[in-house]
């Protein structure tokens, strides 16, 4: 059997790992997974029999808003990375390259929907009106969260891989039961139906929690959308090691729809996510979305991607920049001018200044709080470890930085 030709998208002729997935499908007699793409890399919009009607809802103002959101979160990402490098944050998790996947999906949700993120969904947080400066509290070590999820229906970040998918399905099953009870007591239905969306990466998709979540979601027809950002790298492990077929195809095994979308096409992501959430809210069950995108930077600021991938690969994906693509469309259609883009840049700089100022004003974290919060009640082992820490720390009391004493003696 000959090699399978991929769908006509920007990835044609590019040596990316989904070619291997397509070849694996061909060997199994499966048709190649189609990838939904509405806005091409040339900035031209195409039609789709299912999703174009959703894209048509995005008027000029909303399209400009999507661009402004992507630009703002990229500027925030740059600033947060700089803050970490300067010692203001203990760690940072960059998102550059994944702006369209996050902004497109986040803006497709409705206020009554509940979102379960991992630890990289800064763009989704923006769409849910989370104060981005507050988001940094966790990365500075002064809070276990940073915001109240009840205010925005955006849950706290989950650092344990895939754990949030279980939480999401449980929450969705709770919504399902609450809505049935409400319908019985109020047939008119004054409350709008809600759905849940759970974010995870291609690496986390290999965790057992994801499998268990999808089994439960399918068995109970839970109103949940699984949103997988396939950014090609689970830290240093490529997605070809995670799966031999497109991740969206896994949904078949659980009996619900799976959709692969160009994750660098914000219009397509928005359309697909809106369809999926509508599907879930209508009681038709779960959906899996695989947003095919790329992590341009490091996994975290503690990571060095040059150790496991080539710069040529990164350069190839930088050419597929989601912001540049939408800018081409907005300019070509006369929907935005130089004044708009200048204002977007100015707004981004203002956001960065606010975040920097607020972060500098945050209190310095006290590691003793970690000991105090380990158990509800005092524990002898924790007390012993705290005593050792206090003794160890006392050994540094009064010490001067290396070289300072010699410098002062010289003067």
Count Cβ neighbours within 10 Å for each residue of 140-178 and write b for 16 or more, e otherwise.
bbbbeebbeeeebbbbbbbeebbbbbbbbbbbbbebbee
Annotated catalytic residue, options 85, 177, 308, 379: 308
Could you tell me how many residues make up the chain?
Answer: 411
DSSP 234-287: ETTEEHHHH-SS-GGGGHHHHTS-EEEEETT-HHHHHHHHHHHHHHHHTT---E
Closest CA to 109 of 237, 276, 258: 276
Kindly name the residue from 250, 299, 325, 356 that is annotated as catalytic.
299
Rg (CA), the chain: 23
Helix (H/G/I), strand (E/B), else coil: 363: coil
Give the SS3 label for residue 64: helix
| Count of H-run helices and E-run strands, the chain | 18, 8
* Separation between Cα atoms, residue 190 and residue 183, nearest integer Å: 9
* 254 counts as catalytic: no
d(CA 198, CA 168): 6
DSSP secondary structure string for all residues of 41-62: TTS-B---TTTHHHHTT--HHH
Identified catalytic residue from 155, 260, 295, 325: 295
Helix (H), strand (E) at residue 354: helix 338-361
Query: Under a CB-based contact definition with an 8 Å cutoff, are residues 302 and 102 in contact?
Result: no
Active-site annotation holds for 299: yes
Judge whether 308 counts as a catalytic residue.
Answer: yes
Catalytically active residues, by annotation: 295, 299, 308
């Amino acid at each position: 059997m000959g090699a399978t030709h991929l769908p006509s998208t920007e990835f044609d002729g590019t040596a990316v790992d989904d070619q291997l997935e397509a070849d694996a499908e061909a060997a199994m007699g499966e048709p190649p997974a189609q990838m939904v793409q509405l806005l091409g890399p040339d900035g031209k919009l195409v039609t789709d029999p299912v999703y174009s009607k959703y894209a048509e809802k995005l008027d000029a103002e909303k399209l400009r808003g999507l661009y402004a959101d992507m630009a703002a979160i990229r500027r925030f990402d740059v600033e947060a990375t700089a803050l970490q490098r300067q010692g203001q944050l203990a760690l940072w998790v960059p998102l550059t390259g994944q702006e369209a996947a996050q902004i497109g999906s986040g803006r497709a949700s409705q206020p009554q929907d509940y979102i379960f993120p991992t630890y990289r969904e800064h763009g989704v947080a923006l769409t849910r009106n989370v104060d981005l400066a507050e988001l940094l509290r966790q990365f500075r070590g002064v809070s276990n969260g940073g915001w109240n999820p009840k205010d925005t229906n955006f849950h706290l970040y989950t650092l344990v891989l895939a754990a949030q998918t279980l939480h999401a399905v449980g929450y969705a099953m709770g919504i399902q039961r609450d809505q049935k009870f409400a319908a019985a007591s109020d047939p008119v239905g004054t409350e709008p139906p809600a759905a849940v969306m759970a974010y995870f990466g291609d690496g986390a998709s290999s965790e057992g929690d994801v499998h268990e979540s999808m089994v439960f979601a399918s068995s109970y027809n839970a109103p949940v959308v699984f949103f997988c950002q396939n950014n090609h790298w689970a830290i240093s492990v490529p997605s070809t090691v995670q799966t031999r077929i497109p991740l969206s195809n896994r949904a078949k095994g659980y009996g619900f729809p799976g959709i692969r979308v160009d994750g660098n096409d914000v219009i397509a992501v928005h359309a697909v996510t809106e369809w999926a959430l509508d599907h879930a809210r209508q009681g038709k069950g779960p959906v899996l979305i695989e947003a095919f995108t790329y992590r341009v930077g490091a996994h975290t600021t503690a990571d060095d991607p040059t150790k496991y991938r080539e710069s040529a690969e990164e350069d190839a994906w930088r050419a597929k920049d989601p912001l540049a693509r939408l800018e081409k469309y907005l300019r070509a259609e006369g929907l935005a001018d130089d004044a708009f883009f200048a204002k977007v840049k100015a707004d981004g700089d203002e956001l960065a200044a606010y975040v920097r100022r607020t972060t500098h004003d945050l209190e310095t974290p006290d590691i003793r709080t970690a000991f105090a919060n380990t158990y509800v009640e005092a524990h002898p082992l924790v007390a012993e470890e705290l005593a050792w820490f206090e003794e160890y720390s006392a050994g540094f009391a009064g010490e001067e930085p290396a070289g300072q004493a010699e410098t002062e003696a010289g003067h």
